[in-house]
Amino acid sequence: MDTVIQQFGSYLEMERNFSPNTKKAYLSDVEQFYHFLKDAGKSGRIPVSGWEGVSHLDVRSFLAVLHRSGIKKVTIARKLSAIRTFYGYLIRQGKLKSNPATLVQAPAAEKYVPQVLSVDEMFRLLETAYRPDLAGFRDKAMLELFYSSGLRLSELAGMNIEDLDFGQCLVRVRGKGSKERIVPVGKVALASLRAFIDRRSIALEKKGGGTLRPLFTGCTGSRLNVRTISRILHKYVVKSGMDRKVSPHMLRHSFATHLLDAGADLRAIQELLGHESLSTTQKYTSVSIGKLMEVYDRAHPKAK
């Protein structure tokens, strides 16, 4: 079974063009299901001789265990999708004739309102005092670009210098599934990026020349990973005096919400964020409506 899962990983990468993060999640989900079946088979509750011995009742039992463990519904739905995709792969390979996961309904996902920073909070974060050295200029440029273009954390970490177009005020972004999109960049963010790149070029010349392809790097010249960027953001959140937890994704949420509050079209925001489905973008409308109600309650003489 382990060999089949490894082959499934190659299928996700080569034929389905899944992103590394999605591929990793799907493989982990299938492996978790495999261990569940293995343990259940040993206990005598579900005899499993192979993937062909699995029924829709086994899949439901697996989801029930996840639910009792307190796993979020959206995560359970993803695991079910991974199992469906895995069995679809086995059918495609001619190893099975039916997919037991298609008979199992995914749990209804919880509706949640994205957590965002207010415009004032966003400005306070970006106007925090940054150190006047190369790392400070890098951090300033990184956070300005993060908010200015609404990038995902992985997209920000994967940026290269050639992705920037200062003349057109655009940036090329490699999103999920290796899909590319072109996103505008504000002039303030571009000025911060130019200041950082100029200083980095001077530093490289002092070290004997050379060029660096990654846009945001550490002191050794290697690309910053997502964990390091998250730590950098946390440092400036604390420094700005905000008494709240701010995740990197909140900057992306804030980007979308602030555009929507200012009257931007939902379809345009969908393109900027790189969402395949408009329904994914529509979650920001609840934030905007909440703000409208707040303004209404405060301003209308008959609201109270």
Task: For residue 244, indicate whether it is catalytic.
Answer: no
Which residue positions in the chain have pLDDT lower than 70?
Answer: 1-2, 41-50, 110-113, 177-178, 207-212, 279-300, 302-304
Active site residue 152: yes
User: Which of 79, 152, 253, 258 is flagged as catalytic?
Assistant: 152
- Residue 259 near residue 269, CB atoms below 8 Å: yes
Q: Which pLDDT belongs to residue 22?
A: 87
Taking the C-alpha atoms of residue 166 and residue 211, their distance in angstroms, rounded to an integer, is: 18
Rounded-to-integer distance, Cα 148 and Cα 202, Å: 26
Catalytic residue among 176, 181, 199, 223: 176
Enter the tokens of residue 78. Answer: 């993803």
Query: Which domains are delineated in the chain?
Result: 2-103 (1.10.150.130), 119-299 (1.10.443.10)
- Which pLDDT score is estimated for 46? 45
Report pLDDT for 172. Answer: 92
Would you call 35 a catalytic residue per the annotation? no
Instruction: Write down the pLDDT at residue 43.
Output: 43
One of 23, 252, 253, 258 is an active-site residue; which one?
Answer: 252
Q: Is 284 a catalytic residue?
A: yes
**172 catalytic, yes or no?**
no
pLDDT at 225: 92
Q: Which of 42, 95, 231, 249 is catalytic?
A: 249
Contact 57, 218 (CB under 8 A): no
Look at residue 45 in the predicted model and tell me its pLDDT.
Answer: 46
Alpha carbon distance 282, 40 (integer Å): 41
The answer to whether the CB of 73 falls within 8 A of the CB of 109 is yes
For position 244, what pLDDT does the model report?
87
Q: What is residue 259's predicted lDDT score, i.e. its pLDDT?
A: 87
- Would you state the pLDDT for residue 31? 92
